[in-house]
Structure 1
Amino acid sequence: MKTLLPIFVVFIFPLYIIGQNEPDDIDNLLGEQSTIVSSTFKSSRIINGHSIEQPAKGELEFRISHRFGKLNTGSYELWGLDQATIHFSLEYSPADFLTLAIGRSSYRKTFDGHVKAAILKQQQGIPLFLSYLASAEIVTLKNELPDFRFKHKLAYVHQFLLARKFSKQFSVQLSPTLVHKNLVTENDMDNNLLSLGIGARYKLTKRLSVNAETFLTDFGQAPGNVKYYSPIAFGIDLETGGHVFQIMVTNSLPMREVGLISETTGDFFNGDIHLGFNISRTFNLHK
């Protein structure tokens, strides 16, 4: 954690200075005919983790996320391209402030679902966005442990998303997170894990932006021979009409909060880097 924080400060602070070149005038941040700041992030994900963005009322978002193997596996594995982990989801908003979602990941054969609710939206008199995310995951990978029960397959996440758009180009989000796992792999591991997500976006053109993200987590003493790392990710967002295409490099293979925060085993600074992408398509069910 002490290593990661300075790195992200160095990355984010210059973007903050650039973003401040335009006066922080709320009128400059509002969309046309809107009293609420728009496009804080381009997608409902910053990179791996959630952003405060949600589909509009009546919209259904279909999302596919893909992570290849490690770049440092070399030419035999085509630098990770021979391997693949995938997650897909359906996310629907019955109201402007509420999103309901279900998904499936090939990582540990996991099913997941989440609820995201907007509490505050940045506008005149309200300086930031605030959303609440609650998610649950079910691991269906076969397990031969004695006395293994259904409840041991479950894990939960509670997360607050606090974001601010400082200018038309620059946005930052903090995501204090609690991960609870009903089953841990070692006796000395805690079932609860606290983490702080930090993410930022800088818009380069109308359709292109660069993003950075991490989750700062204190894992304590590494259990057994397993060492966990905080996930790090850098990426770009490219909007192409109804699609948002995200390309990233990250040390995390899992793409959902439980695995992302508590089960990242790759060392980003040792070359354990995965190339990946997210692609989303939005459908308006009310038209």
Structure 2
Amino acid sequence: MKKHYYLLLIFALLSVKLNAQQTGKISREDSLMNAMAAANPPQAATTAIFASSRLILSETNETVKKGNLNFLVIHRFGDIGGPFGGGQSLFGLDNSSDIYIGFEYGLGQNLDIQFGRSKFQQLIDLGLKYNIVHQSNDGSPVAITLLGKMGLKPYKNIGAFNAYSDRFAYVAQAIIGHKFSRAFSMQITPTFVSSNTAQPALPGNDKRFFALGAAARLKITKRMGIVVDYAHPFSTFRSNSPAPDKFYDPIGVGIEVETGGHVFTINFSNAKAISQTNYLSDTRSDIGKGEFRLGFTISRIFDLSGHKSSK
């Protein structure tokens, strides 16, 4: 029952150890960050925490620069093992548990608007993301970004909704990140989830609950890093749920690769869903039974401002 506390403790201990081993100034990301980080005066020495706006499960502190468009393709395949995996489904590659197509457009240097559509329960979401504090060498030791999203399920589970307004769900999140060194970055994400109708539609399920996430990236080469992403919903219903509707904390492990204007992440996760509303509310895959899946994220920035990006 306490495994989620141990995982969060491991994140904290690892960050302290790496911070103690490495000193000196922290530099900007040297690839995609010219289109992600806000335009601050040189003396501010603003630090980019991560290479893109997405990890495996979590969004990051990074917002899209004004006039730029971030195009996202995120995919989760089917179970590698378990009753629906194995050779019969080519270890999940024949199936897809979720596919997300999304767009993030920079309205200002610290503000972007998001729109996306998921295969999982046909969720459509709209959000705003605002970076209120930047980490800098001579200023704040952390970056803080606020994220608000509204989701609508217009097609799925028609019988579960008594009114159209019951189809809406909301996510409010604070993303608190810190870059400890050129190689190691970490963030925590306190989150509040609210649904007009509890999802999934099970007796006693919570309409509202808090969750806490933690994610970290350790760079192993200039353009490649290991990413770990984890979240724990604080929900009595989910903690005490019996089989076959037993819930599990979503977790993912992957490799992130920066290739010029792209950031590509290949990962394994027990979360079937991609959007926060879905994976925080409804992760029922047991890693111990092989119920985890291969996934990937592709992020590509397009400059729509009409001006050449400064190097």
Task: Report the TM-score, using the length of structure 2 for normalisation.
Answer: 0.86
Contact 1:15 1:202 in 2 (8 A): no
Structure 1 residues 268 and 19, CA gap change in structure 2 (3 angstroms):
farther
Q: Which protein is richer in strand relative to its size? A: 1
Structure 1 residues 146 and 139, CA gap change in structure 2 (3 angstroms):
closer
Structure 1 counterpart of 2:220: 204
Residue identity opposite 1:87 in structure 2: Y
Structure 2 counterpart of 1:274: 293
Residue identity opposite 2:229 in structure 1: E
Gaps of 5+ in 2: 31-41, 307-311
Contact 2:26 2:47 in 1 (8 A): no
Q: Which moved more, 1:107-116 or 1:187-196?
A: 187-196
Q: CA deviation at 1:148?
A: 2.1
Q: CA deviation at 1:42?
A: 1.2
In the TM superposition, 1:159-238 aligns within 5 A as 159-184=173-198, 185-220=201-236, 221-222=240-241, 225-238=244-257
* Aligned counterpart for 1:78 among listed residues 76, 82, 90: 90
Between the aligned partners of 2:29 and 2:76, the Cα distance in structure 1 is 34
Q: CA deviation at 1:241?
A: 1.1
Contact 1:176 1:197 in 2 (8 A): yes
Structure 2 counterpart of 1:245: 264
Structure 1 counterpart of 2:33: none
Aligned length: 285
What is the CA deviation profile of residues 142-173 of structure 1, one whole-angstrom value per residue up to 9, with x for unaligned ones?
A: 43427621111110000001011111111110
Between the aligned partners of 1:224 and 1:144, the Cα distance in structure 2 is 25
Between the aligned partners of 2:106 and 2:160, the Cα distance in structure 1 is 41
Structure 1 residues 271 and 15, CA gap change in structure 2 (3 angstroms):
farther
Structure 1 residues 52 and 268, CA gap change in structure 2 (3 angstroms):
same
Percent of counterpart pairs with the same letter?
Answer: 31
Contact 2:64 2:110 in 1 (8 A): no
Contact 1:88 1:104 in 2 (8 A): yes
Structure 2 counterpart of 1:108: 121
Structure 2 counterpart of 1:37: 46
Gaps of 5+ in 1: none
What is the CA deviation profile of residues 185-232 of structure 1, one whole-angstrom value per residue up to 9, with x for unaligned ones?
A: 134222101100111111112111111111112332327841111100
* Structural RMSD (CA): 2.0
1:63 aligns with 2:79: no
Contact 1:41 1:171 in 2 (8 A): yes
Residue identity opposite 2:120 in structure 1: Y
Q: What SS class does the counterpart of residue 291 from structure 2 fall into?
A: coil
Q: What SS class does the counterpart of residue 117 from structure 2 fall into?
A: strand
Q: CA deviation at 1:254?
A: 0.6
Structure 1 residues 74 and 114, CA gap change in structure 2 (3 angstroms):
same
Structure 1 residues 142 and 214, CA gap change in structure 2 (3 angstroms):
closer
Residue identity opposite 2:295 in structure 1: G
Structure 1 residues 271 and 16, CA gap change in structure 2 (3 angstroms):
farther
Q: CA deviation at 1:234?
A: 0.6
Q: Which moved more, 1:181-190 or 1:193-202?
A: 181-190
Residue identity opposite 1:129 in structure 2: A
